[in-house]
């Protein structure tokens, strides 16, 4: 099985601090620089799986890089360079404590809330008479914040965000405008690939100069849900499940093996064969989303490769 990177311990020139998220590790350097390493870790139900997925970090990093390039005319972003397949370097930002989730279709969390009888999500009304995976009359923004306890995301309304002072009214208006513009462009890009961008989330930060920029990932299978456009209407008419591109297939496998991240549950054993199948599925996602063939990077020593490439890039600044 291919080598993976599931943890890093770099010491780059001018390094100030390190933040380790569920999948990405962010190194802050002097000069207001950030080096973001996309690992091969797999997170589901807010739990990191014990084994890495070969090439997953490379795929996520390269999809996000391409999508940022394809949207930079609409929304400024933090990205300066990608000196390594798993690495992005950009401007240091102060992240907003809100994730901007936008939904074009009633799927996932929205569908579960609807089935439970709710007709409002994050203060936004959902029309009566909808079926799971139906399109909303227009995309709805349903923000989320990290819960005070644990890593789970928590729904929150625009009104609560402003009332609690989490984001100023002026900044939130910019976040909403950027979110809708990005989703519209993402929808156009997906359509050219024969896909439907169902829902996604965006994260934003503010530079030291006060500019609001897009950060983290964009339109990846970890942050977004896609349907295949071909046959969508027919499947809806017949009440069938939609063919989708996201990491939902991992969640379904975990559920089938008795795991949903609940207290007392144990992550099921993942064989090397299963891990390889997940990697192959991610490659399928990559190629469908980008419309390009995935080229595997050298994984003989990923950490050494990253260290060398980042150091060489920093010398050019």
pLDDT number for residue 148: 58
End-to-end CA separation in angstroms for the chain: 37
Put residue 222 in one of left, alpha, beta given phi > 0 → left and psi -120 to 50 → alpha.
alpha
Please state which CATH class domain 15-93+247-315 belongs to.
alpha beta
Bridge partners (DSSP) listed for residue 219 = none
This model's pTM is above 0.85: yes
What is the rounded distance in angstroms from the CA atom of residue 221 to the CA atom of residue 79? Answer: 20
pLDDT tens digits for range 237-275:
999 999 887 777 888 889 899 998 888 999 999 999 999
Distance of CA 118 to the CA centre of its chain: 26
What is the rounded distance in angstroms from the CA atom of residue 317 to the CA atom of residue 303? Answer: 22
What is the rounded distance in angstroms from the CA atom of residue 62 to the CA atom of residue 235? Answer: 32
pLDDT number for residue 244: 82
Domain ranges of the chain: 15-93+247-315, 100-245
pLDDT tens digits for range 266-305:
999 999 999 999 899 889 889 999 999 999 999 999 999 9
pLDDT number for residue 151: 55
pLDDT tens digits for range 98-150:
999 999 999 989 999 999 999 999 999 999 999 999 999 999 999 999 765 55
User: Is residue 217's pLDDT more than 70?
Assistant: yes
Mean per-residue pLDDT for 15-24? 92
pLDDT number for residue 140: 98
pLDDT number for residue 59: 95
What is the rounded distance in angstroms from the CA atom of residue 261 to the CA atom of residue 204? Answer: 27
Please state which CATH class domain 100-245 belongs to.
alpha beta
Mean per-residue pLDDT for 207-234? 94
Return mean pLDDT, the chain.
93
Residue with tokens 């559920």: 255
pLDDT number for residue 287: 95
pLDDT number for residue 273: 93
User: Is residue 312's pLDDT more than 80?
Assistant: yes
- Tokens (6 digits) for 314: 């920093």
pLDDT tens digits for range 151-192:
567 999 999 999 999 999 999 999 999 999 999 999 999 999
Confidence class for position 1, pLDDT limits 50, 70, 90: low
Mean per-residue pLDDT for 3-23? 93
């Amino acid at each position: 099985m291919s080598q993976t990177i599931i943890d890093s311990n770099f010491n780059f020139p001018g390094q100030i601090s390190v933040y380790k998220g569920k999948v990405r590790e962010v190194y802050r350097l002097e000069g207001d620089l950030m080096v973001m390493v996309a690992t091969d870790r797999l997170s589901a139900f807010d739990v990191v799986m014990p084994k890495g997925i070969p090439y997953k970090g490379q795929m996520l990093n390269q999809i996000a890089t391409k999508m940022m390039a394809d949207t930079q005319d609409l929304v400024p972003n933090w990205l300066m360079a990608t000196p390594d397949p798993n690495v992005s370097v950009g401007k240091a930002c102060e992240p907003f404590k809100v994730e901007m989730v936008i939904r074009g279709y009633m799927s996932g969390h929205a569908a579960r809330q609807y089935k439970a009888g709710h007709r409002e999500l994050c203060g936004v009304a959902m029309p009566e008479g909808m079926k799971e995976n139906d399109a909303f009359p227009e995309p709805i923004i349903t923000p989320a914040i990290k819960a005070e306890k644990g890593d789970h995301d928590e729904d929150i309304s625009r009104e609560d965000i402003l009332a609690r002072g989490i984001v100023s009214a002026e900044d939130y208006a910019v976040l909403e405008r950027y979110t809708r513009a990005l989703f519209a462009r993402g929808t156009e890009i997906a359509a050219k690939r024969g896909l439907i961008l169902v829902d996604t989330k965006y994260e934003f930060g503010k530079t030291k100069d006060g500019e609001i920029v897009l950060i983290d990932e964009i339109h990846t299978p970890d942050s977004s849900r896609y349907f295949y456009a071909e046959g969508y209407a027919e499947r809806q008419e017949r009440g069938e499940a939609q063919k989708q591109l996201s990491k939902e297939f991992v969640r379904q496998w975990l559920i089938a093996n008795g795991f949903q991240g609940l207290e007392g549950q144990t992550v099921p054993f993942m064989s090397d064969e299963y891990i390889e199948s997940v990697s192959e599925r991610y490659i399928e996602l990559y190629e469908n989303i980008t419309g390009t063939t995935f080229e595997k990077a050298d994984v003989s020593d990923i950490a050494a490769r990253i260290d060398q490439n980042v150091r060489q890039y920093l010398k050019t600044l």
